Amino acid sequence: MKILSVNAGSSSLKFQMYEMPEEKVLISGVFERIGIGNSFYTIKINGEKIRKEKDLNNHKEAVEYLVQELLENKIIESLDEIKGIGHRVVQGADKFDKSVIIDDEVIEIITELNPLAPLHNPAAVVGINAFKELIPNAIAVAVFDTSFHQTMEKEAYMYALPYEWYEDYKVRKYGAHGTSHKYVANRAQEILGKENCKLIVCHIGNGASITAVKDGKCIDTSMGFTPNAGLVMGTRCGDTDVSIIPYMMKQAGLTYQQIDDVINKQSGLLGISGVSSDSRDIEAGIKEGNERCILAQNMFVRRIVEYIAKYYVLLNGVDAICFTAGIGENGINVRKEILDRLGVLGIEIDEEKNDVRGVERLITKETSKVPCYIIPTDEEVMIARDTYKLIEG
């Protein structure tokens, strides 16, 4: 059965087509700069990457090119072969604790949640509608970034703010990266050979979050009402004294829009280093002795260690710690610095095993009290799996 896994952003559209249930990737690609000029797309097929410059005025035009590529490359002979399309949706709030088949009511609820994800949810609906128009016979499924976190208890997801904010404005912790955390947790369960286990999953990329997982269920996560909570990220500040916001609005005369921009786009590694949001540039700066890059890296690592320590206590011990996403999978130094600081938990890194990028591997010594793993994430396959499962009933 052919299933498309789709991730629509405001100006981009990523896709991957699978033969299910074998989980074989048939073609993948990304359309970029949709509606903002200089648009192009890249596709990967049989190990070959092809780039094409095309005018893409909207998502529908991107889907038209996608259909054309699928037919020309003989991935499909007719559109009816595509049985399902799984769409990544960032915010499902407390309305969805699992993936669902999309109907008009689902679209309505996703749209109602727009204020909670003003950039992402509208883009997902644009993507859903574009595919619905061009491939109407495929069953569309919504896979939410938040649904894995819906198992958190109230004491974990509430903020110590007026209760009415929760009741009237839905202010609570929702988390994010749920599909990735779930994939890594499932994979760790397979590696450990048991379902009942305690895991700390560190998704560390440009956006970063850590989740405490017990028996396959999320019990806490570092992202919050928005993705700007918890860890220091590429450009987001993460946990910060919230009273700094009104203080700086008043002192520096910043508007709501400006302060929102600062905390989301000008903070984190970029804000501290003044150099870059990219971990590789920070490490290059460290090599040159740049003090602010050193400080940025230390703050970044320290916050991750603080969350691991917090979740270690919350879980009352842990069976494994897992690293994933851009930095988690590739950041050899970052992983080493994190694990060195966790020596008090009896964690012993194996530097030789850790000297690797992007492969699944144990990176601690046999004698380490807690085994730590790199587990490359795969959100696309999770979307395809949920879509397949819902179609099969």
> What residue ranges bind ligand AMP (CB under 6 A)?
205-206, 234, 278-280, 325-327, 330-331, 357
Nearest to 215 by CA among 238, 239, 189: 189
What are the DSSP calls for 273-320, one per residue? HSS-SSHHHHHHHHHTT-HHHHHHHHHHHHHHHHHHHHHHHHHTS-SE
Nearer to ligand AMP, 205 or 224 (CB): 205
Side chain identity, residue 99: S
- Which of 55, 103, 145, 239 is flagged as catalytic? 145
Mark whether 281 is an active-site residue: no
In terms of Cα–Cα distance, which of 84, 114, 116, 115 is closest to 100? Answer: 84
Task: Measure the CA–CA gap between 124 and 10, rounded to whole angstroms.
Answer: 8
Beta strands in the chain (DSSP E): 2-8, 13-19, 24-32, 40-45, 48-53, 82-89, 100-101, 139-144, 198-204, 208-214, 217-221, 320-324, 361-362, 372-374
Closer residue to ligand AMP (CB): 172 or 177:
177
The closest of 111, 119, 93 to 175, measured between CA atoms, is 93
Q: Residue 2 Cβ, how far from ligand AMP at the closest point, in Å?
A: 27
Output 194 or 280, the one with its CB closest to ligand AMP: 280
CB of 312 to ligand AMP, least distance (A): 24
CA nearest to 54, candidates 68, 66, 38, 67: 38
When the beta carbons of 54 and 280 are compared against ligand AMP, the nearer one is 280
Q: To the nearest whole angstrom, how small is the minimum distance from the Cβ of residue 269 to ligand AMP?
A: 7
Nearer of residues 149 and 203 to ligand AMP, judged by Cβ:
203
Q: Please, what is the minimum distance in Å from the beta carbon of residue 33 to ligand AMP?
A: 18
| Minimum distance of ligand AMP from residue 233's CB (angstroms) | 9
For the four alpha carbons of 267, 273, 278 and 279, in that order, the dihedral sign comes to: negative
Kindly report the CA angle at 243 between 239 and 244, in degrees rounded to 5? Answer: 75
User: At its nearest, how many Å lie between ligand AMP and the CB of residue 7?
Assistant: 13
Which tokens go with 113?
A: 């949640």
Decide whether 63 or 334 has the Cβ nearer to ligand AMP: 334
Instruction: Decide whether 329 or 386 has the Cβ nearer to ligand AMP.
Output: 329
DSSP code at position 212: E
CB of 357 to ligand AMP, least distance (A): 5
Q: Which of 19, 59, 16, 374 is nearest to 191 (CA)?
A: 374
DSSP 364: B
| Residues annotated as part of the active site | 145
